[in-house]
């Protein structure tokens, strides 16, 4: 790690249709560092991972010798054009077109080497869904998820207001009028979602079985049969709805992975703050408090993989 060295920033644009192109933010000190792909959650964009002042999880990893690629899913962030009432894509397109485009771009720049994946909230669900049914093959060394859940099973007055009233009833009404969900204007998120993405996300949040919207492909069953990369699930002690510890742990169990760990980041476990769904990634103290856990998880997976290769070479 060389803290004093300047970080390099690049904006890469990847065409996916005749009219749509994806934005992939690259942040690095070492251009030969191990590649990390970071994916944001619903009603968000890639800025959850970095700020103009070079704060956040992406710059933190870049300062520790990783070559970091932050995705803006279609229509979000700097991806073009922005979402409007005419946008007709959804999560099917995210999994079948956007993810392969990001993966191929990283392969083009880095070669077909193991990637490290990280996500906030719904981005973790999308990453797992992609691995269950990949369009292009990808080697993933390890994953770290912040506040990622698929279903919201808990009940509280706050959940009723945020999810049942605002996300379900009010958002559906707004979408029916405008054709999209202008979450930033509604002050419920940092970016918009399309009509189809909102509907498909809601379907997965409320359904007990994790099935594809059209052909009923069973994601959970396939994931449980796979040898998933080591995955660290982190959530904040004050994340009481969108990344509630119960629901985050349920997602981990749904994958059936025996290479996962779950941690609640809060004062009871020796951390500086009881973090919520957003400041788990954006709090200034995160860089000293729990980002090192994510870094150690990546480093541990690298060491284990190297040891496995070395032992194999002796046989």
Dist CA 312 CA 12 (whole Å): 38
pLDDT of residue 153: 95
Mean pLDDT of the chain: 95
pLDDT above 80 (res 184):
yes
Map out the domains of the chain as residue ranges: 8-149+215-313
- Single pTM value for the model: 0.95
- Is 314's pLDDT higher than 60? no
Listed range (80-89, 92-101, 192-201, 305-314) with the worst mean pLDDT: 305-314
**Residue 312 pLDDT grade (very low, low, confident, very high; cuts 50, 70, 90):** low
Task: Name the band, by pLDDT with cuts 50, 70 and 90, for residue 315.
Answer: very low
* Contacting residues for 149 by C-beta, under 8 A, at least 6 apart: 121, 125, 242, 243, 244, 247, 248, 250, 251
CA dist 315 and 216 (Å) reads 44
Residue 310 confidence class, pLDDT cut points 50, 70, 90 = very low
User: What pLDDT is attached to residue 306?
Assistant: 53
Per-residue pLDDT tens over the stretch 48-99 = 999 999 999 999 999 999 999 999 999 999 999 999 999 999 999 999 999 9
Percent of the chain with pLDDT over 90: 93
Average pLDDT value for residue range 183-211: 96
Report the pLDDT averaged over residues 125-138: 98
Q: Is the pLDDT of residue 257 over 80?
A: yes
Residue 5 pLDDT grade (very low, low, confident, very high; cuts 50, 70, 90): confident
Band (309; pLDDT cuts 50, 70, 90): very low
Best CATH choice for the domain 8-149+215-313 from the list 3.40.50.1820, 3.40.605.10, 3.30.70.380, 3.20.130.10:
3.40.50.1820
163: left (phi over 0), alpha (psi -120 to 50) or beta: alpha
């Amino acid at each position: 790690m060389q803290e004093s060295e300047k970080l390099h920033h690049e904006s890469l644009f990847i065409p996916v249709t005749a009219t749509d192109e994806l934005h992939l933010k690259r942040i690095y000190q070492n251009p030969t560092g191990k590649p990390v792909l970071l994916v944001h959650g619903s009603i968000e964009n890639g800025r959850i991972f970095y700020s103009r002042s070079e704060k956040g999880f992406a710059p933190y990893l870049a300062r520790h010798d990783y070559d970091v690629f932050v995705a803006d899913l279609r229509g979000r962030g700097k991806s073009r054009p922005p979402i409007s009432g005419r946008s007709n894509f959804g999560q099917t397109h995210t999994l079948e077109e956007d993810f392969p485009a990001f993966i191929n771009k990283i392969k083009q720049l880095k070669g077909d080497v193991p990637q490290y994946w990280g996500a906030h909230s719904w981005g973790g669900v999308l990453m797992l869904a992609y691995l269950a049914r990949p369009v292009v093959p990808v080697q993933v060394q390890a994953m770290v998820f912040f506040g990622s859940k698929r279903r919201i099973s808990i009940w509280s007055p706050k959940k009723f207001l945020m999810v049942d009233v605002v996300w379900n009833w009010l958002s559906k009404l707004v979408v029916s009028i405008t054709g999209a969900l202008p979450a930033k204007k509604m002050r419920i998120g940092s970016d918009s979602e399309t009509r189809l993405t909102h509907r498909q996300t809601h379907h997965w949040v409320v359904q007990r079985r994790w099935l594809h919207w059209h052909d009923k492909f069973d994601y959970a069953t396939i994931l449980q049969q796979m040898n998933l990369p080591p995955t660290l699930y982190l959530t904040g002690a004050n994340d009481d709805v969108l990344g509630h510890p119960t629901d985050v742990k349920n997602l981990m169990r749904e994958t059936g992975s025996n290479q996962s760990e779950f941690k609640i980041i809060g004062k009871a476990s020796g951390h500086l703050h009881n973090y919520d769904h957003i400041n788990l990634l954006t709090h200034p103290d995160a860089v000293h408090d729990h980002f090192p856990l994510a870094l150690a998880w990546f480093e541990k997976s690298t060491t284990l993989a190297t040891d496995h290769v070395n032992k194999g070479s002796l046989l």
